[in-house]
Amino acid sequence: MTVLDEIVAGVREDLAEHKSRVPLDDVRRAAREAPPALDPMPRFLADELAVIAEVKRRSPSKGALADIADPAALAASYELGGAAAISVLTEPRRFGGSLADLDAVRAAVQIPVLRKDFMVDEYQFYEARAHGADLVLLIVAALTDDELRRFADLTGELGMTALVETHTPDEVDRALAGGFPLIGVNNRNLKTLDIDLDTFAPLARRLGSGVVRVAESGIFTPQDAARVASEGADAILVGEALVKHGDPVGAIRSFRAASER
């Protein structure tokens, strides 16, 4: 069993508990009653490289990263620094996240918020919208083509935007075949957790310029941001480097300044 398989198995166990507490009909109702989702694409399509800044306490590969007592304050700092969107880990077992973090961040910022979780069931999409998410993550490696399409359609029906994550040429081809406008390249192999920043460039070329390309993982310095920007990234998703920095406002600004194209 790969690390990805183990994480998804845990997600499904936690999901059963969520469903027992809040029935699907109630979550659907809450999703319909939530304020309209924000559109992240204008910032992602702008000339300046967009920074998706992550609220992340832990990782499966490195354990504890930061004791984030106030995720709302951290997200507000990210916004002040010029982040285009905020990513919030809501998976509790490996990442120490929660839907409460998502609620707190959504209430604190005026920019789009991504629910960063392993989305494997329609319940999670209604749940994401009910808690104020504007984007959700669809990991190609964790989904069949049918699931990818159904979940993308549901995301759109709820007014949210899907960030479709890839890691291999085959996954890129599957994402392109689906016609998705926002595609990420994860420099971390979710089956081994190894990071290789060299992953991005060839897959970005394979994606072409007809989609918004997001570089994920392995971006630890402004120089890394400048590199992937030169290789075609329209946006970067940064977590560890920001939560460990000590000056989130300055860190965001340094990533943006170094990556001017």
pLDDT tens for 13-71 read 999 999 999 999 999 999 999 999 999 999 999 989 999 999 999 887 787 888 889 99
| 244 tagged catalytic | no
- Of 11, 59, 107, 112, nearest to 242 by C-alpha is 59
List all residues 6 or more positions away from 25 whose beta carbon is below 8 Å from its beta carbon: none
- The rounded distance, in Å, linking the Cα atoms of 221 and 213 is 19
- The rounded distance, in Å, linking the Cα atoms of 177 and 44 is 21
Structural domain boundaries in the chain: 3-258
pLDDT for 192 equals: 84
Q: What's the whole-number mean pLDDT along residues 83-91?
A: 97
Is 11 within 8 Å of 119 (Cβ atoms)? no
Kindly report, residue by residue over 208-234, the tens digit of the pLDDT: 999 999 999 999 999 999 999 999 999
Query: Higher pLDDT residue, 125 or 3?
Result: 125
- Of 149, 95, 84, nearest to 118 by C-alpha is 95
Which of 91, 217, 231, 259 is catalytic? The answer is: 217
| 187 tagged catalytic | no
- Of 48, 158, 160, nearest to 114 by C-alpha is 160
Which of 79, 165, 171, 231 is catalytic? The answer is: 165
Q: Which CATH architecture has domain 3-258?
A: Alpha-Beta Barrel (3.20)
Which of 91, 171, 216, 240 is catalytic? The answer is: 216
pLDDT for 126 equals: 98
pLDDT exceeds 60 at position 110 = yes
Report pTM: 0.95
pLDDT for 261 equals: 52
- The rounded distance, in Å, linking the Cα atoms of 213 and 104 is 28
Please state the φ and ψ torsions of residue 22, each to the nearest 5 degrees: -130, 110
- Of 6, 10, 210, nearest to 90 by C-alpha is 10
| 171 tagged catalytic | no
pLDDT exceeds 70 at position 99 = yes
Helix axes 24-33, 122-130, angle to 10 degrees: 40
List all residues 6 or more positions away from 97 whose beta carbon is below 8 Å from its beta carbon: 55, 56, 57, 88, 89, 90, 91, 116, 117
Query: Higher pLDDT residue, 245 or 166?
Result: 166
* Long-range contacts (CB closer than 8 Å, 24 or more residues apart) made by 240-248: 240/56, 240/59, 240/62, 240/65, 242/53, 242/54, 242/78, 243/54, 243/55, 243/56, 243/57, 243/65, 243/66, 243/68, 243/74, 244/65, 244/66, 248/53, 248/74, 248/77, 248/78, 248/81
| 165 tagged catalytic | yes
Is 107 within 8 Å of 135 (Cβ atoms)? no
| 216 tagged catalytic | yes
pLDDT exceeds 80 at position 73 = yes
Tokens 């300046």: give the residue: 48
Query: Higher pLDDT residue, 78 or 63?
Result: 78
